[in-house]
Structure 1
Amino acid sequence: MSSLAPAPGSKRRTLLYDSSTNMGRHRLTVGIDYGTTYSGISYVSTDKHSVDDIEVVNVWPSRHGECKAPTRIAYASENPDRLDEDVWGFQVGPGLISCSWTKLLLDSSQGQPTPNDDPALLEAIDQGIFRLPANKTAENVCEDYLRHLHTYFMTRLERTIDKAILAVTPMDFWLTVPAVWSDQAQNSTRDAAQRAGFGTRRGDTISVITEPEAAALAALKRSMRPGELNPPKAGENLLICDCGGGTVDITTYHLKSLQPRVDFEELCVGDGGKCGATFLDRNLLRLMEQRFGQSFRDVPIQSRGPGSFFMSAWESTKRDFGEYHSGRPARIGPIRIPGTHRNDWYDIEEAMVLLTREDIRHIFDPVVEKVIQLVSDQLFTVMQKGRTIDRVILIGGFGESAYLLSCLRAFCLRSGKIQVYGAENSQSAVVTGAALRGLEGTAPTSKCCRRFYGVALRMPFREGVDPESKATMANWDGAKMCRGRMMWLISKGATITEGTTKTTGCSFDPHKGETTGTEVVLYSCSLDAPPEYDDHPRVQKIGTIKVNWTPQDINRMKSRKEHGWYGRKTLFLQFDVSVNFGAQGGLLEVKSLVNKAVSGTTTINFD
């Protein structure tokens, strides 16, 4: 058996294209924001130079004038009496059995819940709010939705760009993901986008950018336009509070310089949680169950879940809350709830749920408190570095909430007179910033590693320190070893720049003929002080680094007989595993080396 150990020691757009050569031809940069509740797409040709040149798609099937489409899909197989084909986005009408909020399931099984996650998340899953078709996973539904988005986008492009030119115009796709997501979830979303068609043509690429980074790019570029009031200044520290439908991401940047180009860096480790605007929806549903009990639970999910008349009416109420108030209860519906109910809760004649301002405030406050706690924690982290926050920019769909903005401003005023701004075109900031990343190549010069990363190796056994249950013997020389001891490659909070790579030495000692490859498991840990062994509950497996040796590699291995001159032959190879934490594509990259030269083939399979 092989073992591992440390080695000893909508305007018509024209693309300029010279058909005689590929050199210097223009490309299209495309931003993709696959959101929990709404998704968007943007694009720009590389002959453009301004954030204002970026086109955000605002014409969708069944709806015009919206910068995003609902992240919702209904399958014909589940609606045989109403659908002849699958529908998505605005096509999904009330009463259809559909899938919504699927994005939150992509990261539901990875890692430990954060203190800022919505506590009702698992409860909502149990209630069927996050329903999936019987034969599909969350990844399948994500892929299906993105395939519709890709098909529609390409069709739209063919209306505005000559088809022959489009066929030879390479595209660089930038897919946004929550910064709080695990590496597995980010990778699975990228893979789903590729399977859906993004980045699969010859010459196309697909990369990943975190949502707060994309939002920061858009906010900075927009605020630096001539005539803007109170633009940011070099030397300021800017906190991006990205409040979306499913997640909230907090990241703080230090603005090193703004001219001739934006130069900024992450100031500290960001934070976040699954506590976005859908938290409000779950609070509403919980209130309905408290008031109406089984009668509400008996209402079909398509009449009370995302996309229903009931939830669509709630969307309007949610959006307007904090802006103005007539003094009368908000009317949410129609929704037929069987039974007899209090008149101040339900209008039985018009099938309307009644919510007072106090009711709505109680729905909002737990979510707003989560956001403020995240901002407060980040302020404290920045203060520990001897710095202060100069301004907060609120971004995302939930970031447009007037109530959230007023509460956050009140908190920041008490916490040091910090300015809080609602971003221009807040809902499209992330998708705009994604395209901007590809257009200009602007990115933080450095980031802060959000967690520890390491590999579990077999190391020399430390008597009296390592538990005997972890003792094992090396094939090569029979030495007593400790299995599963962590070799942490990079620390939480460590500075990551482009190309930041960490390498550790390993050794490989299988019996001859046993295998031509080996595996190294990559782990992470979000604790401030990482555990020493891989079986600690807070040490999370990210994936498996698989190394396959060539016959030439095998032939170069040292060998010896098990009993000196007879018995099974044991092989021995020293090699390095290298992990690139600062890859341009936004995801981890790995390789193996022998004598400092790349050897064999190395891949990472995310779990």
Structure 2
Amino acid sequence: MLRQPYGGSRQKLVIALDLGTTFSGVSYSILDPGIVPEIKGVTRFPAQDNTGGNAKIPTVLYYDQSGDLMAAGAEALDEGVIRSAEDEGWVKYSRFKLHLRPKWADTKEINEAIAPLPPGKDIVEVFGDFYAYLVDCTLTFIQESHQNGADLLRSVQDRIEFILSHPNGWEGVQQKKLRRAVVYAGIIPDDDKGQERIHFVTEGEASLHFCIDRGLSSFIKDEEGVMIIDAGGGTVDISTYSRTSDDQSFEEIATPACVFAGSIFVTRRAENFLKKKLKGSQYEGEAELIADCFDKTTKHRFRNADEPSYIKFGTMRDTDPQLDIRSGQLRLAGSDVASFFEPSASSILREIDNQRLKARRSVSSIFLVGGFAESTWLFLKMRERVELFGVTLSRPANSPLNKAVADGAISFYIHNIVSARVAKYNYGLRMNTVFNSRDPEHARRKGQVYTRPDGEKALGGQYSIILPKDARVSKIQEFRHSFKRLYQNVSHMNTIRIDMLCYLGDKSDPRWMETEPGNYSVLFTVTANTGKAAKALKPLRQKKRGFYYRFDYDIIIFFGRTELKAQICWMEDGVEKRGPAQILYDRDR
């Protein structure tokens, strides 16, 4: 799809921060009115020669004993920094991204793969420190790489917008913490205008934009689906789309998935294997070092379970035939190395099957991106499986696979091609209905009947669906349901507060909340100032209890840029009024 000239009236700088579990990267675009935007990557970081790449840096931090940041990124792997860390007692910290995972991902395997947070630091501060480092490196790169770079940065200082990418499985709870992190980092001011400069995109959606930018749309068959798999260090994000009839956009055709099956778990299994293999030998204390060598070289080269693999870790004098160590190299059977990969591959393939079953259209193509996508064994294993179903698997050529999210996030901002998404959950609210003695479900609950202000007998504790799970929601579509509230005192109507709920069970049409109390969760409380409208209400007469007031309103659910939002709507002086829109997220997840 051809990119259009930027339609804004003022120059703007957009920066995409891809903070990954193992490696991070940054892309940016300078938006000039009337000019077609270009996506550029930050390819120069301090001490980057130690990383072996030019588009990514390690997601590593060093803190001193006081909790002050001493080194980050590639600098943290510099020999001088490592020596200083040993002398001064600095704490090396990595893989911290997984501390922000949702509660449903709180498993033993994940817990064992990450280290505790640094003393005196919470996850917001650690994210903030690394975001600050990435932005500082980015601004330095722009200043040094562009003519009049310093003048450019000064002119757009208050108009820099940031796109933060995150796994498919992260939602409002995690996004709220990321917002706090960028404020802590000093990247934006802590006010509404500052927050408006922060945007979110899932790694799956960013990867779709990356693939389309690389020309892969020509491989997508009409009337069929395409699956995007972003295989990273910690998570593997799986999203499924189809092209719309106008060929100008894509829409989700299945709920996006996120599995914790990234490359760090392969290394973790290798380390556990090595600890057992080397236990009781002179190399027992070297298991972590050898696993690190495996992570940097052997893991990427491995492709065949029928051939042995070698881990280079020592010198010519390191030899122990009983352990298959010769001249500083440890020999591993290919079947053993494959066993490190198998659980991750099985999780990914299982979710591919789930997506294919849920998708509204037949999936004919899969695009694989991300750092873990560079694993030849993983690619061949996945291709062998999906080709059984007539599905093609490919990796974008002539472009670093680990740049997909950062580049795709900028593309998402410039021209968002996703026009519709799928609701992840069932959204609604608690309601009451008039008691019906002929309804068996009502009759069973007659002891819970109460009298409303209008004199009607009613039953509460019922769930009203506003947006069902798996519903297709376009960017311009609103899901609206009408409700009413009855009051005896108009002074109680100055503010409306409504708990928005999420149903997590398996029923397609849940009704009575008492039957599954554990499957209903309060997302948040949406509010609206309705005092003016309340004053205009006329009292209604009720035979036995005097007067009461009735207030009619709608609850609206719609998509924001990448997240669902909800708000209250009512009529005031003949004009529709709306309360502030709030993002739908489960604060308990």
Q: TM-score, normalised by structure 1?
A: 0.76
| C-alpha distance in structure 1 between counterparts of 2:35 and 2:306, whole Å | 43
- For the 8 Å contact 1:519–1:546, the answer to whether it is kept is yes
2:269 paired residue number? 283
- For the 8 Å contact 1:506–1:577, the answer to whether it is kept is no
| C-alpha distance in structure 1 between counterparts of 2:18 and 2:36, whole Å | 20
- For the 8 Å contact 1:346–1:354, the answer to whether it is kept is yes
- Aligned match for 2:135, one of 147, 150, 163: 150
Counterparts of residues 324-363 of structure 1 (less than 5 Å): 327=308, 329-331=310-312, 344-345=322-323, 355-363=332-340
| C-alpha distance in structure 1 between counterparts of 2:272 and 2:314, whole Å | 16
1:574 paired residue number? 552
- For the 8 Å contact 1:545–1:602, the answer to whether it is kept is no
Aligned-pair distance for 1:532?
3.1
- For the 8 Å contact 2:236–2:348, the answer to whether it is kept is yes
2:96 paired residue number? 102
| Counterpart residue type for residue 396 of structure 1 | G
| C-alpha distance in structure 2 between counterparts of 1:102 and 1:534, whole Å | 38
| Counterpart residue type for residue 392 of structure 2 | Q
User: Residues 180 and 61 (structure 1 numbering): CA distance in 2 closer, same or farther, change over 3 Å?
Assistant: same
| C-alpha distance in structure 2 between counterparts of 1:285 and 1:128, whole Å | 11
SS of structure 1 residue aligned to 2:441: coil
User: Residues 509 and 316 (structure 1 numbering): CA distance in 2 closer, same or farther, change over 3 Å?
Assistant: farther
Aligned-pair distance for 1:548?
4.6
- Aligned match for 1:400, one of 351, 355, 374: 374
- For the 8 Å contact 1:236–1:389, the answer to whether it is kept is yes
Per-residue CA distance 1:184-222 (angstroms, 9 max, x = gap): 334433443354345559687222222222111111221
- For the 8 Å contact 1:458–1:484, the answer to whether it is kept is yes
The answer to whether 1:218 aligns with 2:205 is no
- Aligned match for 2:47, one of 56, 59, 62: 62
SS of structure 1 residue aligned to 2:268: helix
The answer to whether 1:487 aligns with 2:464 is yes
Aligned-pair distance for 1:126?
4.9
1:338 paired residue number? none
| C-alpha distance in structure 2 between counterparts of 1:317 and 1:63, whole Å | 22
- Aligned match for 1:73, one of 51, 58, 61: 61
SS of structure 1 residue aligned to 2:382: helix
SS of structure 1 residue aligned to 2:65: helix
User: Residues 392 and 570 (structure 1 numbering): CA distance in 2 closer, same or farther, change over 3 Å?
Assistant: same
1:237 paired residue number? 225
1:436 paired residue number? 411
User: Residues 499 and 198 (structure 1 numbering): CA distance in 2 closer, same or farther, change over 3 Å?
Assistant: farther
- Aligned match for 1:543, one of 506, 510, 523: 523
- For the 8 Å contact 2:172–2:583, the answer to whether it is kept is no
| C-alpha distance in structure 1 between counterparts of 2:347 and 2:267, whole Å | 15
The answer to whether 1:87 aligns with 2:71 is yes
SS of structure 2 residue aligned to 1:92: helix
Aligned-pair distance for 1:542?
5.6
| C-alpha distance in structure 2 between counterparts of 1:396 and 1:437, whole Å | 17
- Aligned match for 2:238, one of 230, 250, 261: 250
SS of structure 1 residue aligned to 2:469: coil
SS of structure 1 residue aligned to 2:214: helix
SS of structure 2 residue aligned to 1:141: helix
| Counterpart residue type for residue 311 of structure 2 | A
- Aligned match for 1:365, one of 305, 328, 342: 342
1:13 paired residue number? none
| C-alpha distance in structure 1 between counterparts of 2:62 and 2:263, whole Å | 22
| C-alpha distance in structure 2 between counterparts of 1:232 and 1:562, whole Å | 63
| C-alpha distance in structure 1 between counterparts of 2:281 and 2:458, whole Å | 62
User: Residues 380 and 126 (structure 1 numbering): CA distance in 2 closer, same or farther, change over 3 Å?
Assistant: closer
1:174 paired residue number? 163
Aligned-pair distance for 1:398?
0.9
User: Residues 493 and 126 (structure 1 numbering): CA distance in 2 closer, same or farther, change over 3 Å?
Assistant: closer
Aligned-pair distance for 1:175?
2.1
Counterparts of residues 288-327 of structure 1 (less than 5 Å): 288=274, 290-291=276-277, 310-311=291-292, 313-322=294-303, 327=308
User: Residues 475 and 270 (structure 1 numbering): CA distance in 2 closer, same or farther, change over 3 Å?
Assistant: same
1:391 paired residue number? 365
| Counterpart residue type for residue 395 of structure 2 | G
Matched residue count: 546
| C-alpha distance in structure 2 between counterparts of 1:190 and 1:578, whole Å | 25
| C-alpha distance in structure 2 between counterparts of 1:288 and 1:355, whole Å | 10
- For the 8 Å contact 1:304–1:310, the answer to whether it is kept is yes
| C-alpha distance in structure 1 between counterparts of 2:99 and 2:433, whole Å | 37
Aligned-pair distance for 1:312?
5.3
User: Residues 286 and 54 (structure 1 numbering): CA distance in 2 closer, same or farther, change over 3 Å?
Assistant: same
Aligned-pair distance for 1:510?
8.2
| Counterpart residue type for residue 318 of structure 1 | K
The answer to whether 1:597 aligns with 2:580 is no
| Counterpart residue type for residue 136 of structure 1 | K
Aligned-pair distance for 1:395?
0.9
| C-alpha distance in structure 2 between counterparts of 1:283 and 1:523, whole Å | 40
| Counterpart residue type for residue 525 of structure 2 | I
1:471 paired residue number? 448
- Name the % identity: 21
1:32 paired residue number? 17
User: Residues 124 and 328 (structure 1 numbering): CA distance in 2 closer, same or farther, change over 3 Å?
Assistant: closer
- For the 8 Å contact 2:243–2:251, the answer to whether it is kept is yes
The answer to whether 1:423 aligns with 2:396 is yes
Aligned-pair distance for 1:141?
2.3
- Aligned match for 1:449, one of 423, 435, 439: 423
2:511 paired residue number? 532
- Aligned match for 2:26, one of 37, 41, 45: 41
RMSD of the alignment, in Å? 4.2
Per-residue CA distance 1:526-559 (angstroms, 9 max, x = gap): 5553443556366353631231526434534667
- Aligned match for 1:274, one of 260, 276, 293: 260
SS of structure 2 residue aligned to 1:132: coil
Per-residue CA distance 1:373-407 (angstroms, 9 max, x = gap): 2222223334xx4x433221111111111111101
SS of structure 2 residue aligned to 1:275: coil
Counterparts of residues 577-588 of structure 1 (less than 5 Å): 577-580=555-558, 582-584=559-561, 586-588=562-564
SS of structure 2 residue aligned to 1:98: strand
| C-alpha distance in structure 2 between counterparts of 1:60 and 1:547, whole Å | 46
| C-alpha distance in structure 2 between counterparts of 1:143 and 1:533, whole Å | 43
User: Residues 279 and 453 (structure 1 numbering): CA distance in 2 closer, same or farther, change over 3 Å?
Assistant: farther
Query: Structure with the greater relative contact order (CA < 8 A, sep ≥ 6): 1 or 2?
Result: 1
**Structure number with higher helix proportion:** 2
Per-residue CA distance 1:97-139 (angstroms, 9 max, x = gap): 2333232232332xx45xxxxxxx6224554723113433333
1:8 paired residue number? none
Q: TM-score, normalised by structure 2?
A: 0.78
SS of structure 1 residue aligned to 2:419: coil
List gaps (5 residues or longer) in structure 2: none
| C-alpha distance in structure 1 between counterparts of 2:549 and 2:287, whole Å | 64
- For the 8 Å contact 1:256–1:263, the answer to whether it is kept is yes
SS of structure 1 residue aligned to 2:363: coil
| C-alpha distance in structure 1 between counterparts of 2:269 and 2:480, whole Å | 47
